[in-house]
């Protein structure tokens, strides 16, 4: 498995999972015919199955797990292992480590060029476990323009640097809303992503507007990255930036380093 890239945030509600799903789908749509995996380790709020349009895992003859597959992406989520959709995950740290190991080791991924990992928000056990268990090529951080989100994402950025995970760049989500007359409303403020990028010397890779259709696309399980709309192009451009930031890595081997 090559190019394992985490998508992280400092706080919830900034659209991290939406970015992770659309990035994975956009990568799979590229002309290089990239083989893409998506691993949902947001154990407290697993939303990838909804955003991808459902699906499920199945047992393989060899005793492993065959991942779900949609929109050209193989994916797995802790939600597939819950008895009921509304069952909570109430775990301590060691359970995170065990579950993350199983999602990487026991799922039959095959050859993968890019693996996108949707992390839970914050700087807790899941982030530390992932950084220790696999060799991350890098991470993307998702924020909204408002000060509280930017403040929290700084902590996530510094945590990633402390565990030697390169921060590839920032994605500013919900950057502005355009009404029917074309007037832009900066509901969550403006400039937070650019200011953070400048402060920490990382690129601002995308600025995604607040668009009702993105939410509807997620509810319908048809990611915006598949759409010809301008917002779809923004996600495809983000995927192009990620590929440019990870040059000549498609043939790299040994990026999975699960601790026994």
| Span 117-138, pLDDT tens digits | 999 887 777 788 888 888 899 9
pTM: 0.90
DSSP letter (8 states) at residue 174: S
User: Which parts of the chain are beta strand (E)?
Assistant: 4-9, 36-40, 58-59, 65-66, 68-70, 73-77, 114-118, 138-143, 167-172, 177-178, 184-185, 204-207
Domain boundaries, the chain: 4-245
- The predicted pLDDT at position 223 comes to 97
Q: How far apart are CA 183 and CA 166, in angstroms?
A: 37
CATH number at 4-245: 3.40.50.300
Q: Is the four-CA dihedral 163, 204, 123, 214 of positive or negative sign? A: negative
pLDDT grade for 255, boundaries at 50, 70 and 90: very low
Q: How far apart are CA 246 and CA 227, in angstroms?
A: 25
In tens, the pLDDT along 186-211 reads 656 567 788 888 899 999 999 999 89
Check whether 260 has a pLDDT greater than 90: no
The closest alpha carbon to 7, from 163, 205, 142, 128, belongs to 142
């Amino acid at each position: 498995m090559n190019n394992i890239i985490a998508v992280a945030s400092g706080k919830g509600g900034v659209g991290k999972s939406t970015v992770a799903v659309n990035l994975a789908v956009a990568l799979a749509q590229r002309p290089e015919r990239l083989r893409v995996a998506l691993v949902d380790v947001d154990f407290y709020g697993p939303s990838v199955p909804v955003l991808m349009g459902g699906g499920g895992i199945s047992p393989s003859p060899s005793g492993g797990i065959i991942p779900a597959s949609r929109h050209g992406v193989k994916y797995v989520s802790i939600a597939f292992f819950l008895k009921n959709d509304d069952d909570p995950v109430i775990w301590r740290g060691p359970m995170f480590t065990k579950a993350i190991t199983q999602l990487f080791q026991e799922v039959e991924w095959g050859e993968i060029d890019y693996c996108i990992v949707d992390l839970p928000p914050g700087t807790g056990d899941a982030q530390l476990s992932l950084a220790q268990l696999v060799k991350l090529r890098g991470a993307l951080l998702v924020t909204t323009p408002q000060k509280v989100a930017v403040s929290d994402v700084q902590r996530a950025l510094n945590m990633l640097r402390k565990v030697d995970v390169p921060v590839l760049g920032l994605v500013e989500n919900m950057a502005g809303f355009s009404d029917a007359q074309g007037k832009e409303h900066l509901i969550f403020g403006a400039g937070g992503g650019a200011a953070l990028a400048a402060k920490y010397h990382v690129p601002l890779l995308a600025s995604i507007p607040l668009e009702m259709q993105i939410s509807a696309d997620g509810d319908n399980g048809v990611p915006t990255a598949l759409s010809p709309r301008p917002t779809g192009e923004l996600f495809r451009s983000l995927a192009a930036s990620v590929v440019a930031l990870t040059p000549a890595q498609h043939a790299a081997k040994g990026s999975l380093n699960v601790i026994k």
